Amino acid sequence: MDRNDPAFQNPTKPIGSFMDEATAKEKKEKEGWTVVEDAGRGWRRVVPSPIPQIIVEADAIRSLIDEGFVVVAVGGGGIPVMQKENGDLVGVDAVIDKDLGSAILASMIKADLFLISTAVEKVAINFNKPDQKWIDTMTVEETRKYMSEGQFAKGSMLPKIQAILKYMEQGGKKALITDPEHIKDALEGKTGTWILP
């Protein structure tokens, strides 16, 4: 994490269990937490979600892949840390976006393909509207155009699209979005949405 990321000034990601208002205010006073009322369901702690800069273990992950291991990494975005002046890493109370964290890892290990598995078989424009259209292939330029038109929902497809664009901008070759049950067919070019340079 970059200690100067503006997200540290505006914590927005709810974490942990719900609390009543009295407990939340006590945690705010005693622990310094930022707390918010969450949609009438109770109070929760919120933390920042800064943009990840690097994946500390990328070299080790690449080495394991080169030796034939399947590596599970960046789960839930990874564990947020910052580097102190002396080079030591220190944990940070934050949430890392899993899509952006994965994009950075894919770039750092020079992955041939960045695949995001999600809840839909393909990306759509005009999603859930009468003129909805499923997309088989998009160029980076088309993807940016659709994003600027507001085609991708903020809490849904937009973070995935932003992550793919970040990967492609850092030299990525191609990306794929599909759901778990269609990964095999998508890798064979039968379904999914491919994003190409």
Quick one: CATH architecture of 112-197?
Answer: 3-Layer(aba) Sandwich (3.40)
pTM beyond 0.75: the answer is yes
User: How does 46-77 read in b/e, with b if 16+ C-beta sit within 10 Å?
Assistant: bbbbbbbeebebbeebbeeeeeeeeeebbeeb
pLDDT tens digit string along 138-190? Answer: 999 999 999 999 999 988 999 999 999 999 999 999 999 999 999 999 999 99
pLDDT tens digit string along 44-103? Answer: 999 999 999 999 999 999 999 999 999 999 988 889 999 999 999 999 999 999 999 999
Domains in the chain: boundaries: 6-47, 52-111, 112-197
CA distance 124 to 122: 6
Backbone angles phi, psi at 11, to 5 degrees: -60, 130
